[in-house]
Amino acid sequence: MPNDIKVLVVDDSAVVRRVFSEQLSKHKGIMVVGTAPDPYVAREKIVKLKPDVITLDIEMPRMDGITFLKKLMKYFPLPVIIVSSLSTKGSKIALEALSLGALEVISKPSEAYSVGDMSMQLAEKIRAVYGAKMIAASTQNMEDKPLTSISSMALASTTNKIIAIGASTGGTEAIKKVLTRLPHNTPGIVVVQHMPAQFTTSFAQRLNELCQMKVKEAQDGDTVINGQVLIAPGNFHMLFKRSGARYYVEVKTGPLVHYQRPAVDVLFKSVARFAGANAIGIILTGMGKDGAVGMLDMKKAGAINIAQDEKSCVVFGMPKEAINIGAVDYVQDINSIANKAIALLETM
């Protein structure tokens, strides 16, 4: 159909190409216009078929997916979804691809991840990246330098403060831009990024190497403390809890919320309940409505909320929904969110 999203599947496995083509054809509004076993064939088909979205394997013969992605983003930028194994190596390479301009990542089917699950999630991700703004991967510059430490006087007043962040499509780079700008003694941060299991481990490790704060994938019962960021593990919800003066997280399974696990709404609603006016909420780039209602609950409980602005978003879906229902106090460019959060913390 003329209005279908045209998809090109690039994978060296004939089985994967066939399965993806068959499964995606079941989803209304999506049409696989071609497949390619390697980047050289893909290049020819991109010119000929003009796809809207590309799914890209990262381990292929003749030219690997990372090398191809670099060339693609330089000469013919298109929305790319990385298809990767659940291995540690695969997840690390996938994160590199996201930093180079890929917009989403999805796991190949495995014993714990069925073809049906893959098909549904891949279709959602294709819809998410379709028409997304292709923002060139930026290099480190003066704006990326961390802020100076929070003063000891201000820090004393932030011992019970926390920051909650939610993001989806384009969020890995947006989260990096926020966290790398924060000083080492920033109040505890809890983060939900829509991402498959295993990939959040590598994501947390990568951020830990770049940030002044300690960053780790959350485990059930982890204490939320100053100077530490907890990333919700893929395929698990993360809830914020309080016991006396201690903040901690609960990591658990449960039904999908907005087709997601972890879900931003689950985190934000728990922050509203247990942190209230001691919290700052930040909602970043992503498709859909996840996080909007939870952020409104946070505002009603006294929290101060920030949304990423449309211009700097890859997909202005989640922030827009939160803004539209009146859940947001400030709308900021991605490069100014960290500064705004610190300024607010020092006045709370």
Catalytic residues: 168, 194, 290
**Interatomic CA distance for residues 50 and 44, integer angstroms:** 10
Question: What amino acid is encoded at 234 in this protein?
Answer: G
Q: What backbone phi and psi angles, to 5 degrees, belong to 99?
A: -70, -20
**Interatomic CA distance for residues 48 and 196, integer angstroms:** 32
The residue with tokens 């961390």 is: 146
**Interatomic CA distance for residues 262 and 254, integer angstroms:** 9
Strands 228-231 and 214-217: parallel
**Interatomic CA distance for residues 267 and 271, integer angstroms:** 6
All residues at 6 or more sequence positions from 177 whose CB lies less than 8 Å from its CB, including other chains: 144, 334, 335, 337, 338
